[in-house]
Structure 1
Amino acid sequence: MAHDLTSSTVGRQNILNNNYALEQIESNLSLGGTYWHDETVFTKVQVAELLEIDIRTVERYLENHYDELTQNGYKVLKNIDLKQFKEDVSDIDVGDISRIPSLGLFPFRTVLNLAMLVTESEKAKAIRNKILDIVIDVVAQKAGGHTKYINQRDESYLPSAYKEYNYRQEFTDALDYYLQADKWKYGKYTNKIYEVVFLENAKEYKNILDLKKKDQIRETMYSEVLNAIASFEHGLAVEMKQQYDELGRKLTTKELDTLIEKAAKNPYLTPHINDARAKMASRDLCFRDALHQKLESYIQSVPTVDFEKFLGETSKSLEERLSDPDTLAVLKRLKDR
C-alpha cells in the first residue's frame, strides 16, 4: 500500500475497503463519537476537536474531496432524519444543533478518510501511522504470517493453477515439435509470454516480490493472471501446429516471434490481459506492498470482495484446500476432461 496516505487515493481506499482492518482500527483507536443507527458517527464540531483543527479546515477538505468522503460515508441529515437525530442525542454533547436546518455526519470510516487527508494536524498524522501499523498486522495475521502465497488463499487458485499447468505442458510440447530452437527456448518464450501478459520478465517479477531462487513464480500468481497466461499459451500452441502443418516444416524463431506479436494484439485476449495486469498491480501493492512500476497505470483500489477472498472466512491456505473434498472433486473433474 502507499505509505503517504495524504497523496494516495488508492492507498486510502485500500484501507477503507478492508473491513477486517477497520474493525481492529475502531477497537484500538477509541476515537469517541456518538453511537447512532448501529454505527459511530461524529459531527463537524467533534471531528474538528478530534483532529485538533478548526471547522473551516474541515469544511475546506469537504469541499475539495467531497466525492471521496461521500463515497466513504459522509452524509447530510435534513428534515425527518435530522429531527430523529436531535431527539436521539439530546442527552449527548454534540454541540448546539437545536436550530440548524441540516447537519453533516461523519461515520467512523469517514473520519479515518479525513484523517488520512489532513496535512495540517499532528493528531491526524499520529492516526495515520497507527492505521498503517494495524493494517499491516491484520493482513499478516489473516494471511498466516506472510503474504508471499496470499494468492493461494483464493478458492479459484487451485483449479486455475491446474489448468495452467496443462496448457503450459501443451505449449512446451509445441516448442519441441514445431520450433527450430536450442535448449534455451523454454525460458526465452516463457519470458516473452510474461512480458505480453504483465510487462515483466521472470527476473523482474522475482525482484519485485523479493522471491528466492528456489521459489516457483507461478505459485505466487493470482488465478486471473494464470488464466491469462494459460489462454496465451494455448492459443500459441494451436497456431504453431497450424503453421507447422501449412509449411510442412518447423517454425523459425522469427516466425514464432511474429505469432506472439500478433497474439499480443488479439482483441479477444485484450480484456483478459488488462484484467490480469490490474489484478496483479493492485493486489500486490495492497497485500504485498510490492510496486510493479511497469503496471503503475493499472493500479486501482482493491474492492471489499477481494479482502473477503484473501483474508475472510472463505479464504484458506493451500494445505487446507488440498484436504477439502470439494476442491479435490473439482481437480478430479479437471483431470478427467
Structure 2
Amino acid sequence: MKDLTVSAIDRQNILNNNQAVENIQKYLGIEGMLFNGEYKFTRHTIASFYQIDASTIDRYLASNEEELKHNGYTNLKGKSLKEFKEQFGWMLQEGAKAPQLGVFNFRAFLNLGMLLTESEKAKALRSAILDIVIDTLNQKMGGSTKYINQRDEDFLVSIAREPLYRKEFTQALNQYLAMGNYKYAVYTDAIYTAIFDGKAKEYKQTLQLSEAENPRDTMYAEIINLISSFEIGIADAMKNKSEQLGRKLMPVELDILIQDFASQRFWLPQITDARTKMASRDYAFRDIVHKRLEPYISSLSPNDYDRFLGDKSKSLIERVLENPALLDVFKRLKDR
C-alpha cells in the first residue's frame, strides 16, 4: 500500500483527481463554511477533526507550506477576511480580531490528513482515501486499466494513422537494409530503446501483455505519434543513405544512423515529454512503474485526470458509434 505521508507524487495525484476528491468528500460528509463557492475550514475545525492541537498544524504548515498552499490553504486578509467574518464571524473560535486568518479548502484539508503522522483519524482517513481512489477508477474502467489510454479522444486519430507510418518503416527496412526478417523486431526495439530506454519485450512484461497483444494498443496518443515520427524519419534517412552509397545498408550502418538520428537535440524535449507522460500516467492509472523511467514519474495534472476519467473521456466503442468512419480502426484493434 502506498504511504501517502512520504510520497508527494501520490498525494498530488489523488488531489488532482477531481472525481476521487468529490467521492471522498461525499464519503466523509464534511462541508465546512461555504465561502466564494468553496468550502473552507479553520485551523480550529481541522484540529478538532484530526484530534490534534494547533501547534501541530502550525508545524506542518511551516514544513509543507508550499504544498499546502498549492492545494488550497490560504491566509484571508483585508476585504476577503472582512467578508468572511461578516458571514461566519459568530462561528469563529480563533482570530476574531487578527489581521489575517488561515483557512483550508477541502483539498488542503485532505492534504494535511495525508501528511499527519500524529493523528489516528488521519491514518484511518488515508486508508479510506486509497480505497476510494481505487473504487473511483474501477467504476470508470470496469476493473481494468490496461486500455485506459483508449479513452482519450486523440487515441483513435493516432492509432488510425499509425499503420501507414509503420508500413513506410518496414518497407524501408526491406528495401534498404541487408538483413533477414529478424530485422523488423530488432529495429522496432532500436526505436523503443531510443525513446523509452527499453525494448518492446520489457514494455510488454511490465504491462503484463500476452504475446498476441500489441504494445501500441496500450500506448497514449503522444507516444504513438512520437514512434511514428521516428519511423518515418528513419525510413527517409535510410533511403537517402542507401542511395548515397549505391547499395543496401549493413546493420552496423543502420545502428549508427539511428543513434545519430535519435541524438539530434530537437528530439530531446519530445523524448523527455514522452517518457514523463508514459511513466507518470502508468504509475497513476495502472499502478505500474517502468523501472528505467522511474526518474521521470511526476504527479498528473487535473486535466490529465479529466482527459482519461472525466466527462470527455469515452470508451472506444462509444467513440466509434459517434464516428462510424473509424469502424475499421476499431475492428483492427479488436482483431489484434
Distance 2:80 2:247 in 1: 77
Distance 1:5 1:130 in 2: 12
Which of 210, 215, 218 matches 1:217?
215
Distance 2:15 2:151 in 1: 21
- Mean Cα deviation higher: 160-169 or 17-26: 160-169
Which residue does 1:237 correspond to in 2? 235
Please give the secondary structure, in 2, of the residue aligned with 1:116.
helix
Structure 1 residues 142-153: aligned runs within 5 Å: 142-153=140-151
Residues 233-279 of structure 1, C-alpha deviation per residue, up to 9 Å, x if partnerless?
11110011111111111100000000111011012222221111111
Residues 150-205 of structure 1, C-alpha deviation per residue, up to 9 Å, x if partnerless?
00111111111122221111111111111111221111111111111111211211
Shift of 1:213: 2.4
Structure 1 residues 219-298: aligned runs within 5 Å: 219-298=217-296
- Mean Cα deviation higher: 95-104 or 119-128: 95-104
Residues 38-80 of structure 1, C-alpha deviation per residue, up to 9 Å, x if partnerless?
2221111111121122111111110111111111111111222
1:11 aligns with 2:10: yes
Structure 1 counterpart of 2:245, one-letter code:
L
Which residue does 1:155 correspond to in 2? 153
Distance 2:257 2:94 in 1: 72
Please give the secondary structure, in 2, of the residue aligned with 1:250.
coil
Residues 289-328 of structure 1, C-alpha deviation per residue, up to 9 Å, x if partnerless?
0111211121121111111111111111111112223874
Structure 2 counterpart of 1:243, one-letter code:
K
Please give the secondary structure, in 1, of the residue aligned with 2:5.
helix
Alignment CA distance shift 1:170-1:35 (3 Å): same
Which residue does 2:69 correspond to in 1? 70
Distance 1:97 1:64 in 2: 22
Give percent identity, aligned residues only: 49
Which residue does 2:54 correspond to in 1? 55
Please give the secondary structure, in 2, of the residue aligned with 1:77.
strand
Which residue does 1:334 correspond to in 2? none
Please give the secondary structure, in 1, of the residue aligned with 2:266.
coil
1:201 aligns with 2:199: yes
Distance 1:40 1:210 in 2: 42
Which residue does 2:83 correspond to in 1? 84
After superposing on structure 2, the runs of 4+ consecutive aligned residues of structure 1 that deviate more than 6 Å are: none
Per the normalisation by structure 1, the TM-score is 0.93
Distance 2:205 2:112 in 1: 35
Which residue does 1:100 correspond to in 2? 98
Task: Indicate if the aligned counterparts of 2:89 and 2:96 stay in contact, CA closer than 8 A.
Answer: no
Which of 163, 166, 172 matches 1:174?
172
Gaps of 5+ in 2: 330-336
Task: Indicate if the aligned counterparts of 2:44 and 2:94 stay in contact, CA closer than 8 A.
Answer: no
Distance 1:256 1:267 in 2: 19
- Mean Cα deviation higher: 70-79 or 278-287: 70-79
Alignment CA distance shift 1:327-1:301 (3 Å): farther
- Mean Cα deviation higher: 318-327 or 213-222: 318-327
Distance 1:96 1:258 in 2: 69
Which residue does 2:132 correspond to in 1? 134
Distance 1:56 1:170 in 2: 65
Distance 1:326 1:307 in 2: 27
Gaps of 5+ in 1: 332-337
Distance 1:117 1:162 in 2: 45
Which residue does 2:25 correspond to in 1? 26
Shift of 1:32: 5.1
Residues 73-122 of structure 1, C-alpha deviation per residue, up to 9 Å, x if partnerless?
11111222222222211443x41442222210011110101111112222
Which residue does 2:307 correspond to in 1? 309
Distance 1:165 1:225 in 2: 14
Which residue does 2:333 correspond to in 1? none
Residues 196-240 of structure 1, C-alpha deviation per residue, up to 9 Å, x if partnerless?
111121121112112222221110000111111111111110011
Please give the secondary structure, in 2, of the residue aligned with 1:230.
helix
